[in-house]
Structure 1
Amino acid sequence: MTLVQLEYIIAVDTYRSFVAAAEKCFVTQPTLSMQIQKLEESLGVRVFDRSRQPVVPTEIGVEIIKQARVIITESRKVNEIVQAKKGELEGELRIGVIPTVAPYLLPRVLGSFMEKFPKIQLQIWEHTTEKILHELKVGLLDCGILSTPVHDASLVERPLFYEPFVAYVAAKSKLFDKKEVTSEDILGDKLWLLNEGHCMRGQVLNICQRKRSLEPEGTFEYNTGSVETLKRMVDINSGSTILPELSIVDFDEDQLHRVRYFRSPEPAREVSIVTTHNFLKKMAIDALEKEIVVAVPKRFRSKKKKDVVGFD
């Protein structure tokens, strides 16, 4: 049994294809298949069921691959020990960020982070929460920045800040004349929502959940795909939407005139860095965490006077 063989079975499990795994490992498919076959022969068991497409692990293969991931992770920590001793931060840092956080948080963070740590190669993807969690577990990401809690015991959540939600209302909305709004106020207006698959949709629904069932059908019939589109829908049409507060930082005077804050305790979302328990790149992730905390408004760092909303 070799570390290379373990890396190969992890790759096949991740991509569920011998061809794709070979490409990602920069070897030919016959070479990868031969090494996996040698591992199976040495163990006396089949790791993969090759009769199914896409290929899947056998029952015992699931346990072997799980242990292989632990072994490979631990072996890679040797380099991290050396880096820590030298006080150096270098190498790749693969980050997944949900789309309702990325465009408003990352511009505040990346410039200073890259200036301080020029030897770190950042790779960043905008993904849904579901995809980030999956890619963390299979090792395609080093960390995720997303709204929590995700209620997954296999992952570790490190809260960064608590971002309030605000209402954004059309000039013709009946909420426009209010100085502050409540969840009941929002429930009675035409509400623009993100599509299914976005955790912020669930949070918005939960803000109004208490009386939602008492309202006529159709209150939540409008859906769209991005926070920026939500703003435009309110600007051009009517009704209202709920936005994360970081998204209004660059609003012009007219747009700010349409923002309404919630009555205390204001609804907010918890945003965290999420990793696996046995994660790599600890020094780099710790440094990223510090940059994020410094970049957000100070009042976001506390739960005080906030009602943290889940999305399940």
Structure 2
Amino acid sequence: MTLQQLEYILAVARHRHFARAAEACFVTQPTLSMMIQKLEQELGVQIFDRSRKPVALTPIGEMILERSRKILKEAEGISELVRAYKGHIEGTINMGIIPTLAPYILPLFARPFLEKHPGVKLKIWEYTTGQIVRHLRSGALDVGLMATPVHSPGIEEFPVFYEPFVVYTTNTYEKEFLLPKDIDPSQLWLLEEAHCFQSQVINLCELRQKSGQRLDYQAGSLETLIHLVDSQKGITILPQLATLTMPKGQRRRLKPFLPPAPAREISLVVYQGFARDRMLAAVKEAIVGALPNGLKKEQELRVVDIDIRI
């Protein structure tokens, strides 16, 4: 039994297809299949049910998969120990970032981070909170960057920064700062339910249901919300990073909340047993260093709850 064979098991379980698993592992399909068959012969059990399409784990295969993940994590821990001893940070980071954050934070920190750590390869996926948690548990992701807390068993959270919410509206308000009660639910545009940011806006405005809109549309992105307000009028709520590149005409439609302003906690999250502490610290350092000054300074904020239990 070798670590390579265990990695092949994880790849087939993830892709549920031998050819795609082989491609992901940079080997030929016959090589990958032969190595898994050798392990099955050595153990005297069948790990995969090849008669099913897509290929599936057998009951004992499920147990072997779970133990394989733990063994590979321990092995990675040894490699991380050696890298830390040598003062190196290298290897591949598989990272998931929520869609309401990825387009705004990734351009800020990715290039400086990779330039500082030339031995690192960064692979990024945009996933919802639920998808990030599931992929952390399966081992498909090493780390997530998302809004917290999520109160999910086995998930460890490391806060990085706090991002205030702002109002984007075509309405005219005489007051300088708004309160959540100033938001008319019938004019509010929301993200679709899969996004944790939607639940934070609902909690902030204490919404039960929207009423009075003849066009009821739940958007898939913050950019869509902005365009809806511009074209259909009304109100939406945005995290601050989503407003930084707005042209002047749109920036005039922004209104801040009265301090303590509502905000979301953004954290790096990993599954328990994650051993690459230096890598995690380096990613956090890069993100914090790339933040606009307004997000680095002390602010009077209150974190809005997320109604997600995963």
| Equivalent residues, number | 307
Q: 1:118 to 1:2 in 2, by over 3 A?
A: closer
Match of residue 268 from structure 1: 263
1:191 pairs with one of 188, 192, 195? 188
Match of residue 159 from structure 2: 159
* 1:242-300 C-alpha deviation (Å, 9 max, x unpaired): 00012222334433322112233322111110112222543222111122223334666
What letter is aligned with 1:310? Answer: I
Q: 1:6 to 1:303 in 2, by over 3 A?
A: farther
How does 1:80-229 map onto structure 2 within 5 Å? 80-170=80-170, 173=171, 176-209=173-206, 211-213=207-209, 216=211, 218=213, 221-229=216-224
Q: 1:241 to 1:154 in 2, by over 3 A?
A: same
* 1:19-60 C-alpha deviation (Å, 9 max, x unpaired): 222222233333333332332233233322333322222222
* 1:72-91 C-alpha deviation (Å, 9 max, x unpaired): 22223333222212212223
Q: What is the RMSD of the two structures over their aligned residues, measured on CA atoms?
A: 2.5
Q: 1:65 to 1:15 in 2, by over 3 A?
A: same
SS in 1 for 2:183: helix
Match of residue 67 from structure 1: 67
| TM-score normalised to structure 1 length | 0.87
8 Å contact kept, 2:204–2:262: yes
Distance 1:219 1:274 in 2: 40
Deviation, 1:207, is: 1.7
SS in 2 for 1:36: helix
Match of residue 7 from structure 2: 7
What letter is aligned with 2:201? Answer: V
Match of residue 239 from structure 2: 244
Q: 1:309 to 1:227 in 2, by over 3 A?
A: same
Distance 1:150 1:221 in 2: 28
What letter is aligned with 1:61? Answer: G
What letter is aligned with 1:36? Answer: I
SS in 2 for 1:180: coil
* Unpaired stretches in structure 2, ≥5 consecutive residues: none
Which deviates further from its counterpart, 121-130 or 240-249? 121-130
8 Å contact kept, 1:142–1:281: no
Percent of residue pairs identical: 45
Match of residue 256 from structure 1: 251
Q: 1:46 to 1:115 in 2, by over 3 A?
A: closer
2:228 pairs with one of 233, 252, 255? 233
Q: 1:293 to 1:223 in 2, by over 3 A?
A: same
Deviation, 1:191, is: 1.3
SS in 2 for 1:205: helix
Which deviates further from its counterpart, 80-89 or 241-250? 80-89
Deviation, 1:92, is: 2.2
SS in 1 for 2:187: coil
Distance 2:226 2:287 in 1: 25
Distance 1:264 1:41 in 2: 65
Deviation, 1:302, is: 6.5
* Unpaired stretches in structure 1, ≥5 consecutive residues: none
